[in-house]
A and B are shown apart, each in its own frame.
Chain A
Amino acid sequence: MIVLQGVSKVYPGGIKALDDVSIEIPEREFAFLVGPSGAGKSTFIKLLIRDEIASSGRVFVNNQDVGRLKHKHIPLFRRKIGVVFQDFKLLPYKTVRENVAFPLQVHGILDWKVLQPRVDSVLELVGLPDCLDRFPDQLSGGEQQRVAIARALVHGPLILIADEPTGNLDPNTAWEVVQLLIKINAYGTTMLMATHNREVVDMLRRRVIHIDHGRLVRDEKEGAYHAA
């Protein structure tokens, strides 16, 4: 599902963000990506969604060589993955309903008779059925992150990538969001979650991919936040 083969990323100015990282995340897996700030987690994710291109090595997502995608094929590629961010990245002038429907509209599905049931069911899944006509700034942080997750899921992606999804949330809300991600993974979506949340990682005992100074330092099947 996600394969990195000897991937390095050097930014202009010679800053080495990733150094010869090879990894494979199979279908339906739930993996944590951990490491201190500046370790290269964000670069890792940017390579997966083709926000950056690897300096060397190859990145495959859904069997596609991400680095070799043509510019015009990037939108189509991104529609097969879902991404959730620490700062939610909701469109401020669209309602909850419109934000969640947006990835489908991008696909060319514009008829609300088709959109509405799908928006309703995904909002039901994230536990926010009653906020359809509110705007993002009228919601709490936890609610906004749920809307963002609903948006990342609405088009049925095979992979959900979450970059610090609990970073801006209080512990209780963070737990609720993580429970939601586990539920989504249980339905069959491959999940990669970059996080600093030690408690969550230690409790769940899932695969842990640890990056430090751009290098893969640990990859454990049922790992904890820190090496045992």
Chain B
Amino acid sequence: MRPRMLLFALQSALAHCRRNKLMSTFSVTTTTVMLLMLGCFIVVITSLNVTLRALESKIDVVAYVKDQADPAQVQNLRDSLSQNADVESVRYVDKDTALARMRQTLGDKAQLLSQIKGNPLPASLEIQLRFASSAPALADQLRQEAAIEEVDYKQDVVGRLLAITSFLRLTGLIIVAGLGAITLFIIINTTRIALFSRRQEIEIMKLVGATDWFVRWPFIFEGTFLGLLGAVATVILIAAGYQPMLTHLSGLLTFLPLAFDPQFLPKLLLSLLAGGALIGGAGSYISVRRFLDT
């Protein structure tokens, strides 16, 4: 196909969109509604994910160090932990700090401590994890260490939290995947209905001696253009609604650290634009092919 032919196809497509306003509006509206629904779900589920991650990072593992442990061994352990990919940070709390903390916790009952000789509290390694799911494995690993007396993490809390978050993630994924499939299906079907009324046009073009590609290109451009228009409308709506919606949500859910990713919005908007254009173009291609073959 020569560039001049493509330009002609593009001009024909745009002229057709302009002349058949009703069908164009119908296609753009359908695309907008479907993409908007999909986009909103993606926003909600991504935000939920950020929240879940924040929740999970609150879990930490505490490893108590034996009093008689070799300081070099403890240092080695600290180093290897900070290089562990699952570990966000490691902090060493020595015996004195532990006692000072205890004193602070006890407040005005701190004089109780004077009844005790020496410092009974062990030193410890406080490990913050990237993902709560790695807690059990890390705890087992630490228990094997000679320098470690005991490992503690909130086992039942972690278990329950993980069950909840993985359930929510899976549900979110299923909803987005299902909604994505439905969006694709509905947009392709809309294109097919729009094209069905134009089956005769395709037949006429072929009778006059048009090649398959000569018939196809204007339809592909038209689908792409209308899909893109729908996506632009969606992007404008989501861009305008994103901030107010999230502010409202964080106001409702003050107990959750809603840390929204500023990189996310442009990524979503670009994907929606590309997706709208692609679905529109591909939908037209598939539908035209059916009529060309018969």
Taking a contact as CB atoms under 8 Å apart, the answer to whether B209 and A106 are in contact is yes
Which of A79, A91, A94 gathers the greatest number of chain B CB atoms within 10 Å?
Answer: A91
Q: How many A-B residue pairs have CB under 8 A?
A: 52
B105 near A: Cβ within 8 Å? no
- Is B201 a contact of A92 with CB atoms below 8 Å? yes
Question: Which residue of chain B lies nearest to A154 when distances are taken between CB atoms in the complex?
Answer: B208
Interface residue B91 (Cβ < 8 Å from any Cβ of A) = no
| Residues of chain A within 8 A of B205, CB atoms compared | 91, 102, 106
A83 at interface, CB cutoff 8 A: yes
A141 at the interface (CB under 8 A from B): no
Chain A's interface: helix, strand, loop or mixed, by majority? Answer: loop
CB-CB contacts of A45-88 with B at 8 A, as 1s and 0s?
Answer: 00001010000000000000000000010011111000100000
Give B1-28 interface residues, CB cut-off 8 Å to A: 2, 4-5, 8, 15-16, 19-20
Distance in Å from the Cβ of A41 to the closest Cβ of chain B? 17
**From B5, B15, B204, B206, residue with most partner A Cβ within 10 Å:** B204
B-chain residues with CB within 8 Å of residue A105 when the two chains form the complex = 8
A93 within 8 Å of B by Cβ? Answer: yes
Q: For chain B, what secondary structure do more than half of its interface residues adopt (helix, strand, loop), or is it mixed?
A: helix
Q: Determine whether A134 belongs to the interface, using a CB cutoff of 8 Å to chain B.
A: no
- Chain A positions within 8 Å of B, measured between CB atoms, are 49, 51, 72, 75-79, 83, 89-94, 102-103, 105-108, 110, 135, 151
B residues near A, CB below 8 A?
Answer: 2, 4-5, 8, 15-16, 19-20, 200-201, 203-211, 214
Not counting A78-B209, A105-B8, a sample of 5 additional A-B residue pairs whose C-beta atoms are within 8 angstroms of each other reads A75-B211, A78-B208, A92-B201, A110-B4, A110-B5
18 contacts between A and B (CB under 8 A): A49-B207, A75-B209, A75-B214, A78-B206, A79-B208, A79-B209, A89-B203, A89-B204, A89-B207, A91-B204, A91-B205, A103-B208, A103-B209, A106-B208, A107-B209, A110-B8, A135-B19, A151-B208
